[in-house]
Amino acid sequence: MLEVKSTIEHVAGFRVAGVHAGLKKNGKLDFAVVISDTPCTAAGVFTTNQVKAAPVILDMERLQSHAEKVRAVVVNTGCANACTGQQGIYKAQQTARWAAEKIGCDENAVLVLSTGVIGSQLNMYAVRQGIDIAMQFLGHEWFEAAKAIMTTDTRPKLASVTVAKKNGDRYQIAGISKGAGMIAPNMATMLGVIITDAQVPQPMLQRALKTASDQSYNRIVVDGDMSTNDTVLLLANGATNVVLDTPEEEADFTEALTALCKKLAQEIVRDGEGATKFITVNIQGAPDDAAARKIADAIATSPLVKTAFFGNDANWGRIVAAAGRSGVALNPELMQLWIAPGEADDQRGISLQLFAGGMPTDYSEETAAAIIKEKTVSILLDCGMGKGTSTVWTCDLSHDYVTINGDYRS
């Protein structure tokens, strides 16, 4: 059984730092670096938003040509460096260039991540200062690095897992993520840097990250908005001399990576801006998996569904209505809906059925209200039309979400 920890201790050949560079006015940590002592193979998944930030454009290009020579990732907060024109591209390149000079590597071996306000120009004095300071504090303080990439997050998000091969060799996978708003299920939906000290061929690394992202970061919703900066990067430096090169080893690596990514992705939902509830949306009986996913997304992104959860209102009609507008052909006479406390994939044996045969069931409003008041709640909708299934994790929508986003720039 894989044990995913909420801590990172030491991953061979990697050093990190999280420092205050001056990008945030409040003195909080705002700049992080993740550096490998040796070149890494690297993989990435990126936002599918057609408005892409400068660092996203830069990283996508570098992974096309230098995916087996990456040495570092540099992350700034406070400024997204998005919608900043050619000047923004230059600043992303300059950030990588300065970091490369300190590390002693080619500038193309440095990837860049940014997060913050869209449309503002990056303070390069602070960036240069951040690089200089970070290089003085390189070590294994992953908690500080995770804090340094936060924006509206209320807590850092980090995780690690140790994997053992059949011959007893062990390697680690670890990662940090940030995200609390502008979270919608499409590619990365946040920022993340994941590392492993195993030696992994680049094509295998990219396949594993794509699979893991599809089962984790692509299944979370806070508000339905996709960012311009969404990126998840995965670096493998082989510092343990543990080589992964068989289909079985790829499967084990992908399984462990997926478990780690699920942990980080779910933490993003739990820390959603203003969130008070963690909600699991399970769909089964859809025509196919793609249809199930569309239905799950429609429910998970519905403001009416999310506000009902915040108000502790077991308003099943909003859930059924959201499914009905998903674009999937459904027959309400075949649909069945349950709710349950906690997190699970199928709770029909222990949960409360609210809807069946096109009508509400004879359920207890008191019982429904008690379930909906829980901090973790699950929905199970059986469409009765096939074998398609999907699960998406979301949260409620509260007054605080409006407060946080109503004056984000100020």
Domains located in the chain, CATH noted: 14-269 (3.60.70.12), 278-406 (3.10.20.340)
What phi-psi label fits residue 22: left (phi over 0), alpha (psi between -120 and 50 degrees) or beta? Answer: left
Cα dihedral 38, 128, 133, 62 in deg (nearest 10)? -20
pLDDT value of residue 183: 47
As given in the structure block, the two tokens for residue 365 are 């409003």
- Which whole-number Å values give the CA distances from 316 to 249, 304, 310, 322, 393, in the listed order? 44, 11, 14, 10, 18
CA angle at residue 267 from 397 to 178, to 5 degrees?
95
Return phi, psi of residue 400, to 5°. Answer: -65, -30
> In angstroms, rounded to a whole number, what is the distance separating the alpha carbons of residues 107 and 37?
15
CA angle at residue 324 from 318 to 325, to 5 degrees?
95
Taking alpha carbons only, the member of 62, 93, 83, 87 closest to residue 227 is 83
pTM: 0.91
> Look-up: residue for tokens 């990439």?
149
pLDDT value of residue 346: 61
Residues of the chain with pLDDT under 70: 180-189, 222-226, 273-274, 345-350, 399-410
230, amino acid identity = D
pLDDT value of residue 397: 81
> In angstroms, rounded to a whole number, what is the distance separating the alpha carbons of residues 31 and 20?
6
CB 266 within 8 A of CB 217: no
> In angstroms, rounded to a whole number, what is the distance separating the alpha carbons of residues 162 and 256?
8
pLDDT value of residue 326: 94
Taking alpha carbons only, the member of 69, 64, 81, 172 closest to residue 119 is 81
Q: Enumerate residues 6+ apart whose C-beta is below 8 A from 311.
A: none
273, amino acid identity = E
Angle of the 303-310 helix axis to the 316-324 helix axis, nearest 10? 160
Element housing 163 (H / E)? strand 157-164
> In angstroms, rounded to a whole number, what is the distance separating the alpha carbons of residues 200 and 20?
33
> Look-up: residue for tokens 């239905």?
295
The residues carrying an active-site annotation are: 189
pLDDT value of residue 391: 94
